[in-house]
Amino acid sequence: MILTNLDARVKLLMLVAVSSVALIIQRPLTLAAVLLLTLILLLAGGVDRAKVWKQTRAMLSIIGGIFIIQCVFCRAGLPLITIGDFTLVTTGGLQMAVVVALRLLIIISSALIVLTGEMRDYLLALRWCRLPYEIVYMTLAALRFIPLLRDEAVSIYSAMQMRGYNIKSANWHKRIKLYLAMLLPITASALHKAGQMSIAMETRAFRCMPNRSEWRSLQFSRGDFIYTAIFFVLLIAIIIFIKQ
């Protein structure tokens, strides 16, 4: 069963479970097994390998930087790499760096589970969790604003290049000034769109009723229960087996 066909509540539950396990567990071997399970879940669930690699590659430089910082500044354990009398890397620092890197990779990989469905289904799942519909709608509005602001930034960036500004070859001082110049029209556009949305919501009497009904509803299927049971059995089995 591919992930796209799963109920949104099941995918949110899987995301919370994997992320919580990644934050609680301290052993690198267990974290590596959970990461492997997450990747197998994504690939077996129909997620494109190129998409998984693209999302992970975008964070590799940040994870690498955090890995180096943890190795250098965590001084626990025995000396592992020394330069003269100075201890550069310790065993405790290396272990902590591996744990942090694996945690970040697990969280990034598990977030791809959410990208396999429609956003409105996740909002219905949040309503099923008894969240107020005002908060759910605010979440939807914030997510819808992200691609709009990104397109606005790309348009302004292209317009500045057409006017002769070469941002890539400019020094850092001039580049900061150009980015600050881009920030003003982007903010003005965001405020304008937010004002239009608030007027549209008021004309449609948003929040006039304490409760509201939904046109669509989520239904658990037999495959959802089977998939959830198999996932949690594998996750618990990995944790128990490796801890022995």
Report pLDDT digits (tens) over 76-116.
877 777 777 777 788 888 888 899 999 988 888 888 887 77
Instruction: Categorize the per-residue pLDDT at 244 as very low, low, confident or very high, splitting at 50, 70 and 90.
Output: low
If asked whether residues 26 and 85 sit together in one domain, one would say yes
Question: Beta strand 86-90 with 79-83: parallel, antiparallel or unpaired?
Answer: antiparallel
If asked whether residues 152 and 102 sit together in one domain, one would say no
If asked whether residues 57 and 144 sit together in one domain, one would say no
From the list 51, 29, 12, the residue with the least C-alpha distance to 98 is: 29
The answer to whether 101 and 67 have CB atoms below 8 angstroms apart is: yes
Q: What is the SS3 assignment for 228?
A: helix
If asked whether residues 90 and 47 sit together in one domain, one would say yes
In the chain, the largest separation of any two C-alpha atoms, in whole Å, equals: 72
What average pLDDT does this structure show over 48-74?
80
If asked whether residues 8 and 109 sit together in one domain, one would say yes
210 located within any domain: no
If asked whether residues 60 and 177 sit together in one domain, one would say no
The pLDDT tens digits of the residues spanning 159-216 come to 877 877 777 777 777 777 777 878 888 888 888 888 888 888 888 887 777 777 777 7
If asked whether residues 168 and 104 sit together in one domain, one would say no
The domain of 173 spans 132-203
DSSP 90: E
Q: How far apart are CA 87 and CA 157, in angstroms?
A: 46
Number of structural domains (the chain) is: 2
If asked whether residues 102 and 23 sit together in one domain, one would say yes
If asked whether residues 160 and 233 sit together in one domain, one would say no
Residue 235 scores a pLDDT above 70: yes
Q: How far apart are CA 106 and CA 16, in angstroms?
A: 11
Instruction: Categorize the per-residue pLDDT at 46 as very low, low, confident or very high, splitting at 50, 70 and 90.
Output: confident
212 located within any domain: no
Instruction: Categorize the per-residue pLDDT at 1 as very low, low, confident or very high, splitting at 50, 70 and 90.
Output: low
* Residue 67, both tokens: 């890995």
If asked whether residues 94 and 18 sit together in one domain, one would say yes
The pLDDT value recorded for residue 243 is: 61
The pLDDT value recorded for residue 158 is: 82
If asked whether residues 22 and 143 sit together in one domain, one would say no
